[in-house]
Structure formats: structure tokens, C-alpha cells
Structure 1
Amino acid sequence: MRNITTTTRKMLLLVITILLGIAYHGEAIACPQVNMYLAQCLPYLKAGGNPSPMCCNGLNSLKAAAPEKADRQVACNCLKSVANTIPGINDDFAKQLPAKCGVNIGVPFSKTVDCNSIN
């Protein structure tokens, strides 16, 4: 019985190690995650004014989740897609959002940005 438990533990450890390796080498960010971070920003993106603290917190979370160039390019494409899909998003408000929150995430908010040029 003990051999089965030891074998099971070894297999479980191996599976966890493989999954961590896949997660580490795969994209660290995806569009649903980007959308979740910035969902609280929709009122600001449509009407302007001041972004809510929850919106700015989401922007900070997005910055932390997209530390690498590839992550920022994925986030850029997600933001561009949302901006072109959801009616009423004002491109000028979107461009001003990082400055209004005091967060430089390295991803311009624009419907027309070339995401391949992000560094």
C-alpha cells in the first residue's frame, strides 16, 4: 500500500512540475484576463471624467501581469479588439487613461495602434 502512495505522490509531483513548466513558457496573459482587469474602466472610457479607483487598480494589475514584450503585445491586441467591438468607447479617453491613473503600462490605448511595434 505504501508503494502506491509513494508512486501516486511522485506522479502528482511530476504532473505539477509539467504544468508549471507549461504555464511558465506559455503566454502569461490572455484577453479574458485583460478584459477582467479593465472592466471597471468602461464608464470612464465612454464618458470621461475621472477613472474610478477600481479602474486604476485594474490597470496596475494589468501592468503587473504583462511584464514582458510578448505579454504587452497580447494585451495591446486585446485592448484594441475591445475598443473596436464595444460601441461608445472614446479613443481620446482611452489614450488618457494611463496618465489619469498614474500608471505607465507600456501599452498605448488606441483603436488604431500597431501592437507589433510595442516593446
Structure 2
Amino acid sequence: MIKVLTVDDSRTMRDMLRLALAGGGFTVIQAVDGEHGLEVLNESGADVIITDINMPKLDGFGFIERVREDAAYRATPILVLTTESDPAKKVRAREAGATGWIVKPFHPEKLLDVIRKVAA
């Protein structure tokens, strides 16, 4: 079963992601910010990561960069899920190592399709 780590400081967004992903047959683990995301990733591992950009402690850009520093997660798909739509931020996320960019609010079925595609 595919394990998805979601990293978002919004409880509502984490709940929405958990419902959509679990409903799609994925195992879901969650973190409240980038620092916590690194801890959870080290403890539990993940096949796909979904992260927000704007978070306290360690933002999404820093989180992605830190994940990519670990050889075990260099090829793990990382999807950015954010309210941001600034092209410069998309470029920055891609340079940090993001695989894809999804703007909130997300459509659950489309998100599941993207995860299935990147996890294959």
C-alpha cells in the first residue's frame, strides 16, 4: 500500500487530505510543519509527500530541500499543495526538488490521480 506523508499547518487541510487519501486506499501519515515533517519521515518513511509552502518553523521550500539532501528520498515524489500561484514560487519549488504543484482548493479525484501517477 502506498504511504503518503502530508505536511500542512492547517488542521482543516490535514483532515481534508486524510479523508481524500484514505478514501482512495492510501495510508496517510501527517505532520504540522516542515520540522515535524522531517521527524515523521525519518520515523515512518513515505512513498509520496504532499507539502504546503507557508508554514511556521520550516516552510515548504526548506522542507523539500532537506528531504532531497537525504539519499533515501532523492527520488520520492513531492507534491506542493498551496494557495500560492506565483510562477516564481513554482520555479523555486521545482529548483528545491518538488515534483509537482497543485493549487488549493484541490479536487479529491484529481489529487488521487496525480498521486497514483507519480507513485507508479
For normalisation by structure 2, the TM-score amounts to 0.34
Higher helix share: 1
For normalisation by structure 1, the TM-score amounts to 0.34
Higher strand share: 2
Q: Which has the larger radius of gyration?
A: 1
